[in-house]
A and B are shown apart, each in its own frame.
Chain A
Amino acid sequence: MYGKPSTSRTDRWLAATLQLFTTITVLLLITIVGFLCLESWQLISGSGQNTGIFALLSGQDWYPLEGKFGMGPMILASLAVTFGAICLALPIGLACAICLQFYASRGIARWFELALILLAGIPSVIFGLWGLTRLVPIIGSWQPPGASMLAAILVLALMICPTVALTTTAALRALPLSLTAGSEALGLRLPTQIIQVYLPAARSGIISGVLLATARALGETMAVLMVAGNVVQNPSDLFSPVRVLTANIALEMAYAMGDHRGSLFASGLLLTALVWILSLWANRASGQRLLRAPYV
């Protein structure tokens, strides 16, 4: 707790309520992680040839009914698809935000922002359906089978692009007016202002937006499930099908029993850990930059 205990009654009530909610949130998280651990423990701690955490993470074969639980290819696929989607969505999202904030006329900007909000709100299964019935056949007519890592990356990029654009816009909008006044006074051209002043100043906001988008991409299930082909293999090229961890859980959970079920909980645990590491890392990155940025 920061600051001295307040004497105001309202303050104390507020503090108590906030503490209660915070505790509930933390307890929920602990319960979820604990549950995941409990369900997958038997498999993670196993010492057999195909069990144990090392075999799970590095194994190449996923044939749960034959007792093989290698998740290596799916971990790589999850990371590759997410990375690809971010690589596409980040520049486009940034461009959208810059255009929206600095170049578009008022009327256009309003409609464009509305369109972005709408796009951000479309349920992922719609993206998946569109990908499956339109995008996959197009890719398939060029490089069969069509259901591929490329399709997954494109669909995901389309999904997270508005998130990046909207959070970046918000970050740019939140910059103090003194920055604009200062750069104008220096006689900087608009592109220079944007690249040298506004974007660096809004960096932490942009990074948290990208983190949000990354977490969404990593956790996305339905859209990827429908277009990625779901074959368990290492991602080798853009046109071959891959299966991501989330899709694996969704595909098999309904019918899994015993160790198979445990292995799916283990992949859930792994996903949680990945998101955790990601947010920890992004948190540190944005924090350090925040300290270094002289503007804020």
Chain B
Amino acid sequence: MNMALSTKHGLLALIGLILSCSTALAASDRLSLTGSSTVAPLLLEIGKRYESLNPAVRVDVQTGGSSRGIQDARMGTADAGMVSRALKPAEKDLTPFLVAMDGIGMIVHQSNPIKALSDTQIKAIYTGKINNWQQVGGKDQPITVVTKAEGRSTLELFLEHFELKNSQIKPQVVIGDNQQGVKTVAGNPGAIGYVSIGAAEYEHARAVPIKLLPMDGKPASVAAVAKGQYPFARELNLVVKGKPSKQLQDFIAFAQSAKVNDLIDAQFLVSPRTVTAKAKAGASVGASQAKQ
């Protein structure tokens, strides 16, 4: 993904160079976004579509983590930062614009009789303290712990949610992307894993033998994430310092419109507009959206 980003970036830089050489105006029609690698692929796609609709504008996307997104937006080195969480109280100088939501679902094999697991139980399973389903009320079957490879944002959110360090997790299988996780769990009746909720729902609807477990008694579904009722989720934001420029305002409006819903779905993220506008969905960003 980085490769794709950097290639794209290189191309854009080249195009930008050519444009800035030919017309002095080109530079002002360039939007730079930096930050979280979870948000970047989505914004890259949204940027491409925006560019095709507004040929004069170039959208430049670079990764570097949420903290870089915050920093660049503050310092003005980027027009907007990409941040894969809600803003902290100390970051109130920035205005967030919610683009999408990312939820994580715990999945087990469909044949597994387990109905739900508490946070403590999941933590014990992942740290190797519980290694048989019998210990949490299931069949006498060893547990296969499936976790994500280091650096993945899903892992990051998982660790953060359960307050774990990666070295504490004792996995049997380490996976890369969501699809691999779903297939691994589907092929192993004793497995437990976590993947983006969109990916799990998609595969489940296509009769892949997996089961999404509820978290804190809340059913795991894209709709629940969009309503803000699911505890294991986070916001994907664009953050801006001060008043955004006309160009940026237009881009943000586009990124928040229904015109990008298919792009959000394709990344297995959740559009905050999945439910009707009346729902609480945009509450956290309602204020900023209302301004426009």
Q: Please report A residues at the B interface, Cβ cutoff 8 Å.
A: 61-66, 68, 132-133, 136-137, 140, 144-147, 225-226, 229-232, 241, 243, 250-257, 260
Contacts and interface: CB of A to CB of B under 8 A. Distances in A.
Contacts of B152: 255
A144 B144 contact: yes
Contact of A144 (B63, B142, B151): B142
A243 B151 contact: no
Name the 9 nearest CB pairs between A and B, nearest first: A255-B151, A230-B174, A251-B149, A145-B144, A254-B1, A145-B172, A137-B187, A229-B173, A147-B173
Given A229-B172, A241-B173, A253-B2, A140 B187 contact: yes
Contact of B173 (A61, A63, A145): A145
23 contacts: A63-B166, A63-B167, A66-B165, A68-B167, A132-B183, A136-B188, A140-B144, A140-B188, A144-B141, A144-B142, A144-B188, A145-B142, A145-B188, A146-B144, A146-B188, A229-B172, A229-B173, A231-B173, A241-B174, A252-B151, A254-B37, A257-B65, A260-B151
A252 B150 contact: yes
B173 A225 contact: no
Contacts of B180: 132, 225-226
Contacts of B219: none
B176 interface: yes
A38 to B, nearest CB: 16
Nearest to B188: A140
Contacts of B231: none
Could you say which of B3, B149, B175 has the most chain A C-beta atoms within 10 Å of its C-beta? B149
B191 interface: yes
A256 B2 CA distance: 9
Interface residues of B, number: 31
Contacts, number: 97
A61 B172 contact: no
B150 A65 contact: yes
B82 to A, nearest CB: 14
Contact of B167 (A61, A132, A145): A61
Contact of B190 (A136, A144, A231, A254): A144
A237 to B, nearest CB: 13
Interface in B41-97: 63-65
B173 A250 contact: no
Nearest to B180: A226
Contacts of A66: 165-167
Contacts of A260: 150-151
Contacts of A253: 2
A252 B172 contact: no
Nearest to A63: B167
B171 interface: yes
Nearest to A240: B172
A241 B191 CA distance: 14
Contacts of A63: 150, 165-167
A281 B64 CA distance: 42
B184 interface: yes
B153 interface: yes
Contacts of B173: 145, 147, 229-231, 241
Could you say which of A147, A255, A257 has the most chain B C-beta atoms within 10 Å of its C-beta? A255
Interface string B125-166: 000000000000000011010000111110000000000011
Contacts of A243: 174
A138 B265 CA distance: 33
Contacts of B141: 144
Could you say which of B64, B65, B188 has the most chain A C-beta atoms within 10 Å of its C-beta? B188
A64 B150 contact: yes
Given A66-B165, A144-B144, A251-B176, A133 B151 contact: no
A241 B172 contact: yes
A133 B180 CA distance: 10
Contacts of B150: 62-65, 251-252, 255, 260
A241 B183 CA distance: 16
A252 B190 CA distance: 26
